[in-house]
Amino acid sequence: MSVTLKTEEDIAGMRVAGRLASELLDFLTPLIVTGVTTREIDSAAHDYMVNVQKTTPATLNYAPPGHTPYPASLCTSVNHVVCHGIPGEKKLKDGDIINVDVTVIKDGYHGDSSRMFCIGKPSIQARRLVEITYEAMWRGIRAVRAGAHLGDIGSAIQRFAEGHGFSVVREFCGHGIGTRFHEDPQVLHYGRPGTGLKLQAGMIFTVEPMMNAGRAAIRSLADGWTIVTADHSLSAQWEHTVLVTETGYEVLTQSAGTPPPPPISD
C-alpha cells in the first residue's frame, strides 16, 4: 500500500475541491423532488459544474479497468440501488430515497461527496436507514486522528450499523483521494479496533458507508455499473472527504447547506 501524504499546497487544493463538491449538492437539493428524472438532475449538475464552477465532472467517461466509460456526470442511486446508479428517465416518486454522489475536479484536485435525499414521505424504515447510515458515517469520521488505525473507523461504523439491525456492504469502501480519483488507502466500513494502517497527518480519504436494510449481499446489473441489493431491500449511503490532522480530522466537503453532524450519545 502506497499512501501519499498531502503537502500544504495539496491540502489547500483539496479544500477548494471539497467545498465545490458540497456546493454542487447544495445547488441540486431543491431540484430533487417528486416528478424529476435522474437524468434531469444529472443535466443540471453538469451545467453547474462546467459553466458556473468551472470544474470537470470526474465520473463522466471514467473507465477503470474492466469497465465501459461511465456515461454521466454524477451517480443517482434510488431505493435498492446501492451505488453507481446511472441517471435516466425514471421519475422520482413519493416515498423514494436517493443517493446523489458527485465528484468534481478543480485545478487537478478531486472533491468527492454524496448525500441521501428523502422524496415526499418515505416509510419509517427508509427514513431510519437514511438517518442511521448518516450517524454511522459520522461515527467513523470521529474515529479519525493521527495514530489511530483504519480498523477503528470500520469498527465504529460496523458496530453502530449492525446494532441497529442493518448490514454493511463489504465490496465497496472509502478511498484515498487527491490528484487521482482513487488512491490508497482503502477505507473499509467494517473491521476491528487497532488493526489496519496507522493514520498519519496529511492523509486524505473518503468515508462513505453503504448500508442495507436487509442482507449485505449485492449484485451488479447488466450495464456493468449499477449495483443493487441482492434481496431488493433498501440501501443508503453518505460520503465525506476527510483530512487526518495531528489532533483529529477536518471534513473537507462542507458548505452552507451541508447537513450538520448528528448529536452522538452512546
The residues spanned by each domain of the chain are 8-251
Q: 0.85 cut: is pTM over it?
A: yes
With 70 as the cut, is the pLDDT of residue 53 above it? yes
Residue 75: C-alpha distances to residues 60, 161, 218, 243 (Å): 10, 23, 17, 24
With 80 as the cut, is the pLDDT of residue 3 above it? yes
pLDDT of res. 66: 86
pLDDT of res. 266: 61
pLDDT of res. 152: 98
Residues 6+ apart with CB under 8 A from 238: 99, 114, 115, 116, 133, 134, 137, 208, 209
Class for the domain spanning 8-251: alpha beta
Average pLDDT over residues 128-157: 98
Average pLDDT over residues 108-136: 98
Average pLDDT over residues 82-111: 98
232, with CB counted inside 10 A (0-12, 13-18, 19+), is exposed
Q: Which cell numbers hold the place of 226?
A: 449499477
pLDDT of res. 1: 64
pLDDT of res. 204: 98
Return the percentage of the chain with pLDDT > 70, whole number: 99
pLDDT of res. 242: 98
Average pLDDT over residues 66-79: 96
Return the percentage of the chain with pLDDT > 90, whole number: 96
pLDDT of res. 151: 98
pLDDT of res. 227: 98
Strands 210-212 and 167-168: antiparallel
